Structure 1
Amino acid sequence: MTPNTVAVLGLGAMGLPMASRLAGAFEVTGFDPMPASRSRAEATGLTCATTAADAVNGAGLVLLAVRDAAQVEGVLFGDDGIAPALTRGAVVVMTSTVGMDAVASWTERLGELGVALVDAPMSGGPKRAGEGDLLIVVGAEPAALDTARPVLERLASTLTVVGDKPGDGQAMKTVNQLLCGVHIAAAAEALALADALGLDQQKALSALETGAASSFMLSNRGPRMVQGYDGGAEVLSRLDIFVKDLGIVGKAARSAELAAPVAAAAEQLFLLGQTQGLGTADDSAVIKVVAPQRRTTVDDTASTVDNVEGTTGGTQAAR
């Protein structure tokens, strides 16, 4: 085992650009259970194994880029899990948002094999993953973090250590996802309302971005919400991911005996989107839950805008 060998398990929307980014600095072997995903990865020049066990053989660091806690459990300890193939002294880096529930158990079971777990959920999307521009929050024992740090720093523009044990990263990411989900839902309602009031959505978005109502999610998802009405936005983050993530938020809040009514309301919007067949669409499609179609109020635009300005004081409405 050498510190420069990295196995990336999961070559989907986030895993592949992360693997490609790491391949510029480390010896990387990838694996995905879907042959098509392996083929796409190999087409980029990435070396892929045909089994997860083969991918981790001799790897000093194993990066998991999977969807949820059930997949983490399966990859590590399932019938074809990698646990027996891991090299003593290796580090497993968990990059997904999976919640805190099972992290202590995974840490203990891996520890019995002489393997450390680094809890390092990431945010930023596929493009930023490929550019090394991710936000990564980490919970890990210092020695394990020291081993993982060169890999994490290759992927991150912002690396924040929030605690010294696995689970702390998931806790911080849960807080992060509460805000992200709420901000996307709020952006959807705001742009739907702008349309319902006869405003041009793109002009409304531009105005909102310059004032106190601006947010990262408004600027990032807002254009895709507008595009969604014009044939559909590119899928960069699936809507059903926020069904999962806000479910984690709700469970964590209940466990902490904390009310989170705004997060619960946002979760309902994403759940409705999933039941309406939007689960695999970009999460910006949540605007279609609020307003399935853009309204055609062109003829009434002038009078509507005059009305709004007359009752709110003109430019004050955009602040």
Structure 2
Amino acid sequence: MADLTHLFRKYVSIIEEARNEAGDEAAKRSKGVTQSNGSMDKFRVKDTFVKECSELARHILELRRVVNSLEGPYLSEGEMSEREKDDFDVEARLRLQQYVEKLKYLEKYEAARQQAGKVKGDALGLMGLINGWSHMMAGFHQTNNQHRLGILQSVGIWLTATSVQLSQMQRERLSRQRELESIDFNAQLYVPTSLVSAVSHSPAVETTHEEIKQYEETMSMLTQEQLQVLETEHEELLNQKMQELEKVQKLSKTVIEVASLQNELATHLHVQTQNINVLLDAHDDIELDVQKGNRQLNKARERGSKSALMVIYMSIIFGLTILFLDYIN
């Protein structure tokens, strides 16, 4: 049998070389990825702004789902009691106020961050020009600022939509409650015939004196029991109307507070829209400046190329001339 040891060793050495080459390539690739990640750290904003905006948007959408699910029972007469509706109004208003305050805090933080970034960018502008990162960093911060302002505007729009929906529900409830109270009040104003059966009908009263006289005659014809019943019903009706008036006033106050929140949110959205428009205008100006700078750079390169060619040609001509003169001499 032939000796194949040397062939086996040759195969083993080939496999080891291939394995070592693969390991070297993996190490180089890992090193390249690490260097790339290190260079990309300059283009990361290390804060929890996006996370907090996402959580706020999730809470707003959850509140909106609750409002949508309770809209039918809230506007009906039998599915929810007045106490439950009042509790829902208070809870929803408190949640809206918390979300508005959170949105204000995020807007204030982002404005301060952009201002600090602008000051820092102005201070490091010369260094950026030297190492070639200035245009890339300026473009990154411009785009990132627009993106973060867009996030704030989206959250504000969702919050405004939820507030508007809740306000419409409360207004509709208030309108229906007033209609029912008006109908109920007109019905209670009807005087039962049993209480006035003893009172004779008389012609229309034309003067105040006759009206007073007729009132005294009517009261004298009523018994003490009937007067007591009328007084009791009057007190009950008055107490009932006072309670309903307090509920209406409370609901009106809630509607006014929600409306004020809507106005505040609308103001914030308007300010955010103006800020985004300003950033877009600034971005357009920067883009035009970059294009103008590129054109000037291309022209400078063309002039530099022409100058270099001219120097080369002149050097060749002078060299040939010197050689020719040297040859003649």
**In which range does the TM-score fall when normalised by the shorter chain?**
under 0.3
Q: Structure with the greater relative contact order (CA < 8 A, sep ≥ 6): 1 or 2? A: 2
Give the TM-score of the pair, scaled to structure 2: 0.24
More strand by share: 1
Structure of higher CA gyration radius: 2
Instruction: With the length of structure 1 as denominator, give the TM-score of the two structures.
Output: 0.24
